Chain A
C-alpha cells in the first residue's frame, strides 16, 4: 500500500563522505596552527609564564584540529540509554565543540610572541600566519570553498599592507629608550589604523540596499 511520491532529489550533501578538498583545508588549518606555535615559541624563553602559554597554545591548536576532524560525527538527541563509555565520548565531543580553542590559542601565541625581545618582521609573519590559520579554520568548519574569501581579497591585501607598515613602525630607529620613542611608535601605529579606517569605505563598499 506504499505510495510512490515521485523522484526524490536530495539536496547537496554537506555532512557525509569527506572529500579531498575538505581534508586538505582541515590539514592546512592544523599545519598552520602548528606552524604558528613553532614560530612564536622559537627560541624558547622561560620568563613571564611563557611555558604555560606554550602549553595552552599547543592544547588550543591540537583541540581545534581535533574538533575539525570530528566535526562530522553525529550526536544522538537522546543519550540517556547509551552505555557509560559512549556517554563519556559524547561529553568529550560536546566539550570539544563548545570551548573556543582557537581564541585561547591566539591569545597564548600573542603572549608567547611578546615574551621575546622586539622582532618586528617576525611578529608580522606571525600575524600573517595567524590570519591564515583563522581563515583556514573558518573554511574547514563551515565546509566552504576558498572562493568565499574572494570578496575579502582587497581588504586582506590592505591588511597585509598595514601589517607590513606596523612592522616598519616597530623598526623605527628612536634616539634611545624612553617614553618619547615609545609614544612615537604608538602614534605611528594609531596613524596606521586611522589611515586604514579612511581607506576602508573605498576598499569594501557597503552592499546596495533594497
Chain B
C-alpha cells in the first residue's frame, strides 16, 4: 500500500486515504494465553485445582480484552514539507491518522536508501512529524511507515505498512561566485563588461568630444590637460550564452563523491552562478548513445529546469529534448559563440573526440575535470605497470586538449569551483570565431 506521488493528492486539505488494518494478538496476549492454557492443562492432568486458579487471571484478562473495539479501517494522511529538496536539506513529513478511536498509535519510520533520519524514527500519537535528510541526488523513496494500533488493554495490535511518497533530490550545488566571461559577447544586454563602448558603468577610456555627446560625460581634468574637451567612455554591458556539458558516461569513485556526483554538483553551481550574472544558460547531458539538452534560458527557474533535465537523463528518461549525436544538435541547444563549460572525468574516448570536434567547429570550451579516483593499487608488477600506463594516457588526453586550446582544470569536489577557475575568471577568455 502506498501514498500517491502527485503532490495535490496529499495536500494540506486533502482527505486522508483509507487503509485496512491487519489485527492480531499482541505478544502480551500470547504470553497470557500460554500461561492460562499451561495452567489449565496442568490442573486437568494433575487434578490440582489451584492451577485452575492460576490460569484464571490470565484467561480473564484475555476474555475481557475481546470486548474492545477494533476499527477495521483507518484514514491516513502524509504531507511532506516539500517534494523537491537538495542533498543534505532538512525535510519533514507530517503523518496523521483518523478513525483510530481510543486505540494508541505508534509510528515507525523505515527510511529508504540514501535517506538519513534526523531525530527519532518512532513516535506515538495520532499526529506526528518525522524529519529526515536526503543524502544523494535522484528520485528517492522516503521509505515505509509502520503503523501499530493497540487497543486500550494492549491485547490486540492492528498493523499497517504504507509506502511513503517519493522525493526529488537535487544535487547540492557547489560554491561558485565568479564567472568565466568570453572576450567576444553577443549584442545582448547583460552584466558583463564587453570590449565595445556602450552605456555601461565600467570606465573604458577617454576620447575627444564630438557633437551629440552628453555634457555630464565630459572629463574635465582630462580636458584641462589636453586643452580640448574630452569625454569618458564606458564599456557596453553584455550577456553571454553558456552551455553546460555534463558527461555521464562514466561514474567512477565512491558513491556520494563519484565523478557523476561532482559533475552534477558542479553543473548546478555553474548554472546558478551564470544565471545570477543574467547569462542565458542551457545544458547538454552526454551519455551512452544519447544526448539530452535544454536550450539556454534566463531566470532563476532555469536552475531547476537544468537540474531536472540532468536528473531526467540520469533516470534514463529523455528530458526536454533528445538526440543521438552532438553534430546534429540544433542551434538553439548549442548557440554559436556560446561558452561551453564541460564537466567530465575524460574517460570516454568518444566524448573526447566530440570535444575536439566542437573545438574545431569554433566553440570556446572550458573543461572541468572531475576525476578523483584511481585504479586500485595491487602489488603485482603488471598491475603497477597498467596503472602507470593508465595515468600516462590520462595525462596525454589532457595535454592534447590543452594543445587544441581547450583549458582543462581539475576540481576535487571539496573546494570552491572559483579556485580552479580563478585563472580564467580574472580576465575574459579569448573566444575563437564560430565557424558553424
Contact = CB atoms under 8 A, between A and B. Distances in A.
B43 to A, nearest CB: 6
Interface SS of chain B: helix, strand, loop or mixed? Answer: mixed
A120 B154 contact: no
A165 B52 CA distance: 10
Interface in A99-142: 100, 102-103, 106-107, 110-111, 113-114, 118, 120, 123-124, 126-128, 130-131, 134-135, 137-138, 141-142
Contact of B57 (A5, A131, A148, A204): A131
A110 B43 CA distance: 10
A31 interface: no
Interface string B3-31: 00000000000000000000000111011
Interface stretch (B64-72, B199-207, B362-370): B64-72
Interface in B143-163: 150, 152-154
B129 to A, nearest CB: 6
Nearest to B51: A123
B123 interface: yes
A14 B53 contact: no
Contacts of B312: none
A209 B51 CA distance: 36
A163 B30 contact: no
A124 B30 CA distance: 21
Contact of A156 (B26, B61, B154): B61
A113 B42 CA distance: 10
Interface stretch (A20-28, A80-88, A192-200): A192-200
A22 to B, nearest CB: 13
Interface residues of B, number: 67
A160 interface: yes
Contacts of A205: 67
A134 B28 contact: yes
B124 A134 contact: no
B68 A207 contact: yes
A167 B57 CA distance: 13
A100 B27 contact: yes
Given A3-B89, A151-B152, A206 B35 contact: no
A144 interface: yes
Given A144-B154, A162-B56, A2 B61 contact: no
Contacts of B354: none
Given A10-B119, A189-B43, A110 B173 contact: no
A144 B26 CA distance: 14
Interface in B207-225: none
B414 interface: no
Nearest to B151: A207
Most buried by A among B52, B69, B107, B272: B52
B61 A159 contact: yes
Contacts of A120: 50, 53
B60 interface: yes
Contacts of B35: 106, 110, 130-131, 134
Interface of B: 26-28, 30-32, 34-35, 38-39, 42-44, 46-54, 56-61, 63-64, 67-69, 81-82, 85-86, 88-92, 101-102, 104, 106-107, 110, 118-125, 128-131, 150, 152-154, 172-173, 272
29 contacts: A3-B85, A3-B86, A5-B82, A11-B123, A12-B124, A13-B120, A77-B110, A110-B38, A113-B51, A118-B50, A120-B50, A127-B39, A128-B57, A130-B35, A131-B57, A138-B27, A138-B28, A138-B31, A142-B28, A159-B60, A163-B53, A164-B53, A166-B51, A169-B53, A170-B48, A185-B49, A196-B56, A207-B102, A207-B152
